[in-house]
Amino acid sequence: MADSRSSRTTLREWMAENARDEPIHYREIAEELGRDPASVSASLSIEKAQAETEGRPPYFVRVKAGLYRYNELCEAAKDEEKVDEEIREKAKEVNRKARSDMNEAIAQLDLKAFAHLANTILANIRVRVEDVRERDRYNNTVVLTGSWLDDGGEAPVVFHVKKCDLNEEIGKETILEIRGALPNYQANQGVLISNGICTKEAREAAVQSHYTVPPVHIMDKDIILNILEESRAGVKSRKIEILFLDEDFFEQLTSDGAA
């Protein structure tokens, strides 16, 4: 065996190079690496425990007391992990593209179609759908009234459905408009449903934590995209099956044939 003392070869690297065919005693491994035998034994024990915790095969096989052989199954597992990570990253990229495409498709809707989309969104949150009524329509805005499922319909809510251009900002004026309209419908809260993006000032106006005013809940671009994704409305999902070699299967065939 090559003298590895002067190199910085790791225990795993050394076993991968020298212990694939025949098991080697850990004391001999320690001598080749210029390490203390107790240190090598501890490293092997730690690797076994970590492999069990992580649900992967360790990089060695204990043949019998003191004798260890490199475990080639760990390389297959590493390849599977690499493929899994690549697939996950690709899926994230595809999902980001689908989300962007959906945002653009919403921006291209006319007000009538956007109002239908708003009804889909309301059906997927805690709204009493049968109580929803259209009350007004103007300037790319539809005003609806309704109630929440968990309040018995006792608290009227104004849903301010505002259609925006792509990534259009929504200022605090819209929030103040919604709040100002609440008395007209005997409502004690409002909800903005829009594909636009509320500014910091708009969000602060919606909360008004220092004043006793009716709340205005914000459901702007990211929130409605999240709702549509989670309810699979406007997007489709597809499952892909990935095949890997089953090393255990073929190893068992070899063992059965030798018996």
Average pLDDT taken over every residue of the chain: 87
Structural domains for the chain: 11-71 (1.10.10), 100-230 (3.40.1350.10)
Cα(first)–Cα(last) distance of the chain, in Å?
A: 33
List the one residue out of 193, 181, 137 whose CA is nearest residue 156.
181
Q: 3-class DSSP state for residue 218?
A: strand
- CA pair distance 87, 97, nearest whole angstrom: 15
Burial 30-55 (b: 16+ CB within 10 A, else e): bbbbebeeeebbebbeebeeebeeee
| Listed ranges 69-73, 149-153, 228-232; the one with the highest mean pLDDT | 228-232
- CA pair distance 196, 223, nearest whole angstrom: 10
Per-residue pLDDT band at 4 (split at 50, 70, 90):
very low
Q: Quick one: tokens of 244?
A: 């890997």
pLDDT at 95: 93
- CA pair distance 122, 127, nearest whole angstrom: 6
Condensed to tens digits (0 to 9), the pLDDT of residues 80-132 reads 666 667 777 888 899 999 999 999 999 999 999 999 999 999 999 989 999 99
Condensed to tens digits (0 to 9), the pLDDT of residues 162-172 reads 999 999 999 99
Helices 73-107 and 221-230 cross at an angle (nearest 10°) of 120
Condensed to tens digits (0 to 9), the pLDDT of residues 195-206 reads 999 999 999 999
* CA count, 13 A, side-chain hemisphere, 248: 3
Condensed to tens digits (0 to 9), the pLDDT of residues 5-21 reads 445 778 888 988 898 88
